[in-house]
Amino acid sequence: MSKYETNRLGLSLPVIEKIAGALELPPLFVVLQCLKHRYPNLSKPDSKAGQILERLVRELSKPTG
């Protein structure tokens, strides 16, 4: 896991799906969280792309059903 956390190894789709399954969240949620981590400027309040990303993350983390 540390290789993923330190960006020495990229996540493959099967790994993303396993993480998402373990978290009981959609794979896209994991991808978006990785983007937020990889590009910290997206977390700045004036980042329009970051605002959209944050909205997507919130929507995807809501329980379905």
The pLDDT tens digits for 13-65 are 999 999 999 989 899 888 888 888 888 887 787 888 888 888 888 888 777 65
| Burial class of residue 30 (count of CB atoms within 10 Å of its CB; 0-12, 13-18, 19+) | buried
Question: Model's pTM, two decimal places?
Answer: 0.69
For residue 36, give the DSSP letter.
Answer: H
What does the H/E/C string look like for 5-65? Answer: HCCCCCCCHHHHHHHHHHHCCCHHHHHHHHHHHHCHHHHCCCCHHHHHHHHHHHHHHCCCC
